[in-house]
Amino acid sequence: MLKKLREFWEKSIIFRVFVKKYKRYFIFGTISLVAVDIINIFPPLIIKKAVDILSGEADITKIATISGLFILVSICQGVCRYLWRMNFIGTSFRCDYDLRMAFFEHMETLSQRFFQKYKTGDLMSRATNDIGAVRMAVGPGLLIGLDAILYFFVIPPIIIYLSPRLSFYTFLLMPLTPFIAYKIKDVIDKRFRDVQEHFSRISEKVQENISGIRVVKSFNMSRQEKETFLGLCKDFMKKNLKLAVPQSLLGPVFEYITYMGIIILLFIGGKMAIDGAITLGTLVAFQRYISMMVWPMTAIGWCLSLLQRGSASMRRIDEVMEEKTEIIPKDNVTLQFIPKGEIEFRDVNFRYDCDKEWILKGIHLRIPTGQRTAIVGPIGSGKSTLVNMLSRIIPVNDQSIFIDGVDINTINIKALRKYIGFVPQETFLFSERIEDNILFGVETGKDNNNVQQFARIAGIEEEIQELPQKYESYLGERGINLSGGQKQRITIARALAIQPSIIILDDCLSAVDARVEGTIMKNILKNFPGRTLLVVTHRLPAIRGFDMIVVMKEGVIVERGTHEQLITVNGLYTSLYTKEVLEERLG
């Protein structure tokens, strides 16, 4: 029993989020709360005294002393109230901060698969709404709950002391409370989860419409989208109203029980006072105490609903926190690793899902240090998948990919990525200054004067110089919009800025014309001599001079060799090449 209770406590959000880390604040807060609740006993007793004095032989000096006492008591109450607020509510904001940081940090370690499983809007609502609900539970929820419990410990003994018989009658109805609370809390829990889930769907919709606003407009979908959104919002309102029913019932039901107590008090207590069994002062004090019990009765309900919400939200946060980092750090990893640049794929097989088809089938490929290699092939042949594996954006089997002869799974992932300049197929830039974007991967404190040099190599220097604020220009929502080709070149500058040993370009010049692509390629070769260069492209003429060209089809390497060798084979490469040359001539 005790063990179960302890387990329950250790699993509760109050312990996990608040008490475990901020024990001191919890203890101080509880002490000041206990103090307030004990002090709370006194005002009705003081009034009882005053009423008894007034109904006997009135003495003004005694009344004055009592008033003085009253002031003293309220000052003490004020100080203690301030203390518990600071300790509970203040700390709840620290918990909020911890949780948000942990959530964000964890998300950063998760792999692509995770981000396919959860939509952006859903994750956003977990990171904001749900964390907010947890804070409400561990701050105000905990405070209210503790306060209510203390009331139950403090007030009943004093009224039993004043008159056991009267206490018995007035508190007759009280056992009803926990029973009703238990029934209602289940309903609240279920409906609240419904509401939060629905909110996630709304965030998703907003997020999709904002990021895809151009598509929405160009397909004239604004109206339809508005209608779908309206529908979603209506359902959200309905679900909230459904949740409001049990929530609104809690308070009145408890208050009703308490007021019934006061009615009983008037009848039975009144008769006892007339009979002289109790003094008038005791009757007045009783009334005050019963009124004071309204608060813990409603508070219990309120606290339960906050705790329910918080726990439901915590489960949604845990769901994400329990997502395993697919790329598991090993114990025996090499922390320091400065690769020369030899890459080897040894029988690499890969599929995105166990029940899906194989995307890469038995890939064997050795790229010596400093070799310029191109990977070509039709769309969907697995080129991006293959190069993504090198920086372990997707998980890799042990003993399948080696850099300088070292299995990449045994290299610390940060150390590995530090020397791989990877330009992914999809461009993404932050809404920050151009300079910040280019220096994104560069460790702070390093010499930053080379921004222009990297921009020049990536063939974007001149265009940046033409912008009014040059490298200081903000991108995206807060600033300028660049063309697709300009963005692609900035991402190249970003990859080059880390001075990588291995440069990987995944079809990242599709939006610039063939001539510019050729120039950038030459710039990279000239400025990064001896580095291993791996280029995925469909512009075959741009890679004519490469040391090796690998042709992929449906996850298999079908041809490899230099341009001259491949052309004579007259296979897939030849047909891709002639098609591309024709297109460039026509285009």
Residues that bind Mg ion (CB under 5 A): 384, 425
Q: Please, which residue, 126 or 383, has the CB nearer to Mg ion?
A: 383
Q: Which of 171, 97, 163, 165 is nearest to 131 (CA)?
A: 97
* Pairing label, strands 420-423, 502-506: parallel
Q: Residue 334: which residues within 8 A CB-CB, separation 6 or more?
A: 406, 410, 411, 412, 415
Among Mg ion, ligand ADP, none, what binds residue 193 when CB lies within 5 to 8 Å by partner kind? none
Site for ligand ADP in 140-199 (CB under 6 A): none
Nearest distance from C-beta of residue 137 to ligand ADP, angstroms: 36
Nearest distance from C-beta of residue 538 to ligand ADP, angstroms: 9
Nearest distance from C-beta of residue 87 to Mg ion, angstroms: 55
Based on DSSP, count helices (H) and strands (E) in the chain, helices before strands.
Answer: 26, 10
- Print the binding letters for residues 303-332 with ligand ADP: x by CB under 6 A, - otherwise: ------------------------------
Q: How far apart are CA 151 and CA 36, in angstroms?
A: 10
Q: How far apart are CA 390 and CA 420, in angstroms?
A: 8
- Please list the alpha-helical segments (H only) found in 212-268: 213-218, 222-264
CB atoms < 10 A from the CB of 182, how many? 10
Nearest distance from C-beta of residue 543 to Mg ion, angstroms: 15
Nearest distance from C-beta of residue 506 to ligand ADP, angstroms: 7
Please report how the helices 60-85 and 23-39 are oriented relative to each other, as an axis angle in degrees rounded to 10. Answer: 160
* Pairing label, strands 420-423, 532-536: unpaired
Q: How far apart are CA 410 and CA 335, in angstroms?
A: 9
CB-CB contact of 384 with 507 (8 Å): yes
Nearest distance from C-beta of residue 579 to ligand ADP, angstroms: 16
Q: How far apart are CA 462 and CA 456, in angstroms?
A: 8
Q: What is the largest CA-CA distance in the chain?
A: 123
- Print the binding letters for residues 35-74 with ligand ADP: x by CB under 6 A, - otherwise: ----------------------------------------
Among Mg ion, ligand ADP, none, what binds residue 385 when CB lies within 5 to 8 Å by partner kind? ligand ADP
Among ligand ADP, Mg ion, none, what binds residue 359 when CB lies within 5 to 8 Å by partner kind? ligand ADP
Q: Please, which residue, 389 or 434, has the CB nearer to ligand ADP?
A: 389
Among ligand ADP, Mg ion, none, what binds residue 32 when CB lies within 5 to 8 Å by partner kind? none
Q: How far apart are CA 325 and CA 341, in angstroms?
A: 27
Q: Which residue is nearest to ligand ADP (CB)?
A: 384
Nearest distance from C-beta of residue 566 to ligand ADP, angstroms: 18
Q: Please, which residue, 138 or 387, has the CB nearer to Mg ion?
A: 387
* 452 beta partners: none
Q: Please, which residue, 394 or 566, has the CB nearer to ligand ADP?
A: 394
Q: How far apart are CA 394 and CA 422, in angstroms?
A: 14
Q: Please, which residue, 143 or 359, has the CB nearer to ligand ADP?
A: 359
- Print the binding letters for residues 353-392 with ligand ADP: x by CB under 6 A, - otherwise: ------x-----------------x-xxxxxxx-------
CB atoms < 10 A from the CB of 99, how many? 23
Q: Which of 338, 378, 332, 386 is nearest to 359 (CA)?
A: 386
Q: Which residue is nearest to Mg ion (CB)?
A: 384
Nearest distance from C-beta of residue 377 to ligand ADP, angstroms: 6
Nearest distance from C-beta of residue 509 to Mg ion, angstroms: 13
- Per-residue burial over 512-525, b if 16 or more Cβ lie within 10 Å, else e, is bebebbbebbebbe
Among ligand ADP, Mg ion, none, what binds residue 128 when CB lies within 5 to 8 Å by partner kind? none
Q: Please, which residue, 71 or 379, has the CB nearer to ligand ADP?
A: 379
Nearest distance from C-beta of residue 535 to Mg ion, angstroms: 12
CB atoms < 10 A from the CB of 428, how many? 8
DSSP three-state, residue 532 = strand
* 503 beta partners: 421, 533
Q: How far apart are CA 394 and CA 403, in angstroms?
A: 16
Please give the DSSP secondary-structure letter assigned to residue 22: -
Nearest distance from C-beta of residue 387 to ligand ADP, angstroms: 8
Q: How far apart are CA 451 and CA 461, in angstroms?
A: 9
Q: Please, which residue, 384 or 409, has the CB nearer to Mg ion?
A: 384
Nearest distance from C-beta of residue 367 to Mg ion, angstroms: 18
Among ligand ADP, Mg ion, none, what binds residue 236 when CB lies within 5 to 8 Å by partner kind? none
Size of site (CB under 6 A) for ligand ADP? 11
Q: Please, which residue, 144 or 512, has the CB nearer to Mg ion?
A: 512
Q: Please, which residue, 382 or 500, has the CB nearer to ligand ADP?
A: 382
Position among 15, 152, 352, 358 found at the interface with ligand ADP (CB under 6 A): 352
Q: Please, which residue, 123 or 359, has the CB nearer to ligand ADP?
A: 359
Among ligand ADP, Mg ion, none, what binds residue 381 when CB lies within 5 to 8 Å by partner kind? ligand ADP
Exposed, middle or buried, 274 (CB in 10 Å: 0-12/13-18/19+)?
Answer: exposed
Q: Please, which residue, 383 or 560, has the CB nearer to ligand ADP?
A: 383
Nearest distance from C-beta of residue 325 to ligand ADP, angstroms: 17
CB-CB contact of 335 with 414 (8 Å): no
Among ligand ADP, Mg ion, none, what binds residue 382 when CB lies within 5 to 8 Å by partner kind? ligand ADP
Q: How far apart are CA 383 and CA 506, in angstroms?
A: 8
Position among 65, 74, 112, 349 found at the interface with ligand ADP (CB under 6 A): 112
Q: Please, which residue, 313 or 385, has the CB nearer to Mg ion?
A: 385
Q: Please, which residue, 362 or 380, has the CB nearer to ligand ADP?
A: 380
* 565 beta partners: none
Nearest distance from C-beta of residue 113 to ligand ADP, angstroms: 7
Q: Please, which residue, 386 or 413, has the CB nearer to Mg ion?
A: 386
Q: What count of residues does the chain have?
A: 587
> What residue ranges bind ligand ADP (CB under 6 A)?
112, 352, 359, 377, 379-385
